[in-house]
Amino acid sequence: MPQIELENITRTFQLGDTTVRALSSVSVAINAGEYVAIMGPSGSGKSTMLNLLGLLDQPNNGHYRLEGRDVTTLTSDELAAVRRTRIGFVFQSFHLIPRLTSAENVAMPLMLAGVPPEIRRQRVNAALEKVGLANRAGHRPDELSGGQRQRIAIARAIIMEPAMLLADEPTGNLDRHTGQEVTELLEALNAAGTTLIVVTHDPDMGFRAHRRLMMEDGVMSDSQEQA
């Protein structure tokens, strides 16, 4: 059974008197452990697709089954529970809380989930070790480089041990060398079994993926070529 199944997904937005079709009858299946890049020009529907996959948005029509469960029928609270436990998010702009240390930023999902302090400390330490920043646990975001901030954001994304990671232009604010390091970190997580879905304009990152989903005017085409 595929981990993700989209069936005839349509998403429209109303701008004044104009109906904008961001996604048009999209159907695709993604298996657990895949490394997928979603590519295409600006305005093609990539971000809408990622928001829908991450349960931050809902389609107007069609069905989205995640791990066999039709999530288009879930309540807001049920969607939040799935997001919290099954999906990790990595954004271009990091979205770290400035006043919190690295460890506190990483621990935030655990705190919201009510995980006890001692277990939180253990899991935060393990996540920081995994991204190579255990020695930056007490630093705040303005004391970190861009690459380090993105690594902290990745540690926060994996702290709940999600089944899949969704990354929106994760190297967009980084120089080429630092972006390469972040890409390799994400690929290592994928190699360990986490499904990785990346929205990117970077052709180098796109062609490293095992599979590319190309977006154009809300329509998706599938490339099965191996990187």
Please give the CATH number for the structural domain made up of 4-223. 3.40.50.300
pLDDT tier at 207, thresholds 50, 70, 90: confident
Going from N- to C-terminal start, the domains of the chain cover 4-223
Query: What integer best gives the mean pLDDT of the chain?
Result: 93
| Digit-coded pLDDT (tens) for 184-206 | 999 999 999 999 999 998 888 88
Structure tokens at 215: 């977006």
C-alpha span between 33 and 107 (Å, rounded): 25
| Digit-coded pLDDT (tens) for 17-35 | 898 899 999 999 999 999 9
Q: What pLDDT was estimated at residue 224?
A: 60
The dihedrals phi and psi of 221, each to the nearest 5 degrees, come to -125, 150
List, in sequence order, the alpha helices (H) in the chain.
46-53, 76-86, 102-112, 117-130, 146-158, 176-191, 203-208
Structure tokens at 162: 């999600």
Residue range 161-181: mean pLDDT, rounded: 92
Residue range 31-42: mean pLDDT, rounded: 94
| Digit-coded pLDDT (tens) for 130-167 | 999 999 999 999 999 999 999 999 999 999 999 999 99
C-alpha span between 101 and 130 (Å, rounded): 17
Q: Is residue 227 pLDDT above 50, yes or no?
A: no
| Digit-coded pLDDT (tens) for 53-80 | 999 999 999 999 999 999 999 999 999 9
Q: Is residue 115 pLDDT above 70, yes or no?
A: yes
